[in-house]
Amino acid sequence: MKKKLCISLFLFISITTFGQVIPKGTRFIGGDLKFNITESKVKSVVQNNVFMIGITPSFTSFTKDNTAFTVSLGYSINTTGSKASFSSELLKASVHTISAGFYLSNYKMFNEKFGASIRYGGEVGYLFTTTSLTADSDDLLKGAILDLNAGPGVIYLLNDKWAIEGVTSLVNITSVYTKSGDLSSYTMSTNISLNPSVGIGFRYFLK
């Protein structure tokens, strides 16, 4: 734990104290796309599969040198198909999530093309379920999500208008509330990882 916290502190100090300046007033729009599909078969017959796709457009404005504020809107769908004994068709259930995010980032450019960042913020979201089975809508899962996270990132400038940026979530605090019919549940989790997943997206500079 101490090692992880020391690494995070070193990243924060190195990024916010030294380096070239991204000037106040710089703005860019961006978009992140996530996609995943998995499938399992038994004797060439699909038994279950998972399909996920998500898109998150965003707008970033530098409120002062090297410091930016980002707002984002996101939508994702995660569909799971499972084969039941009473049907030759895959029974499908989809979880839809609509979210809004707010982030504060500190940047440091090492040269004219490559830089690093540290980002803090979170997302709030609403989720609901649809299914291929006939079901009472009140019995389908609904819920809300609050996710607070922080982590380092990198940015590479392709030219004076386009850039590629990768961001990670090294520290996460997540709260989830779900309800299905008369049943409801609440969970809260925390996670610190030095091997996080990376989200990559394009950025288009407005100024």
Structure tokens at 162: 């386009």
The DSSP result for 29-69, as a single string, is EEEEEEEEEEEEEETTEEEEEEEEEEEEEEEEEEEETTEEE
Confidence (pLDDT) at 86: 55
**Count of the separate structural domains present in the chain:** 1
Q: What is residue 135's predicted lDDT score, i.e. its pLDDT?
A: 55
The CATH number assigned to the domain holding 197 equals 2.40.160.20
The three-point CA angle 75-80-81 to 5° equals: 140
Range of the domain at 91: 2-205
Beta-bridge partner residues of 115: 109, 155
Query: Which residue, among 27, 25, 59, 62, has the nearest Cα to 206 in the 3D structure?
Result: 27
Per-residue model confidence (pLDDT) at position 89: 67
DSSP state of 23: -
Residue 51 to residues 7, 85, 127, 134, 183, Cα–Cα distance (Å): 35, 22, 16, 21, 27
The radius of gyration of the chain's CA atoms, rounded to the nearest angstrom, is 20
| pLDDT score, position 20 | 72
Which ranges in the chain belong to alpha helices (H)? Answer: 2-17
Q: What are the per-10-residue average pLDDT scores of the chain (207 residues)?
A: 46 45 88 77 64 90 93 92 64 90 93 90 93 66 92 90 88 89 84 69 86
